Chains A and B, each alone.
Chain A
Amino acid sequence: DTEVTQTPKHLVMGMTNKKSLKCEQHMGHRAMYWYKQKAKKPPELMFVYSYEKLSINESVPSRFSPECPNSSLLNLHLHALQPEDSALYLCASSQGRGGGEAFFGQGTRLTVV
């Protein structure tokens, strides 16, 4: 199994809503990542979890709250988002802590209205 599974695939939420994005991998990878990607732009790193501990937070606003319940799961909790937060949110995992050879999920297309 070389898949990273993200749910939901699409999400529309209001600015006062609370929602969560979920990511799951069963490759035994010990590093997991959240990226944000706007149209025609490269993925931007948001958070890195290494061995279930938050290792990198790229100065992401607190309205985004990551959580790693175990080595296979990664969540991104969303609260009070702004329309400019609309983007494709990508989860990835890698065997090592270096960030390379990362396997990406298909993403969650988030629209904030």
Chain B
Amino acid sequence: EDQVTQSPEALRLQEGESSSLNCSYTVSGLRGLFWYRQDPGKGPEFLFTLYSAGEEKEKERLKATLTKKESFLHITAPKPEDSATYLCAVQALVDRGSTLGRLYFGRGTQLTVWP
């Protein structure tokens, strides 16, 4: 059962062409939603944490938002160096009463920005 679904799988943008990536989730008891950037052959790089609906976070050309069922990563005026795979992950407790949690990752959106 997929708990995190990202769309589109791949996105090609011209430099300066703004767009959004989507992450929808079905996990119950959401503890947090996280965005990561991953370059080929490297480990994921943490970008944002979102905890509650309505929350927004920004970093340079990236802005992440959260609703009760999905999150968006908005990319404004992207540059070629923004090309990477963007992963969304949700945090859920392993069971009720536990403080131990784990991440469920989506399959990612592979973003290519060409000059």
Contacts and interface: CB of A to CB of B under 8 A. Distances in A.
Contacts of B36: 104
A105 B43 contact: yes
Interface in B82-98: 87, 89, 91, 93-94
Contact of A55 (B41, B49, B100, B108): B100
A88 interface: yes
Contacts of B42: 106-107
Contacts, number: 67
A41 B103 CA distance: 15
> Counting chain B CB atoms within 10 Å of each CB, which of A42, A50, A90, A104 scores highest?
A42
Contacts of A99: 91, 101-103
A101 B94 contact: no
Which DSSP category, helix, strand, loop or mixed, fits chain B's interface?
Answer: strand
Interface residues of B, number: 25
A56 interface: yes
B78 interface: no
B105 interface: yes
Given A42-B107, A101-B34, A107 B102 contact: no
Contacts of B102: 45, 48, 56, 99
> Counting chain B CB atoms within 10 Å of each CB, which of A45, A103, A104 scores highest?
A104
Interface string B2-18: 00000000000000000
Contacts of B79: none
A102 B100 contact: no
A107 B41 contact: yes
Interface of B: 31-32, 34, 36, 41-46, 49, 87, 89, 91, 93-94, 99-103, 105-108
Interface of A: 4, 6, 41-43, 45, 48, 50, 55-56, 88, 90, 92, 96-107, 109
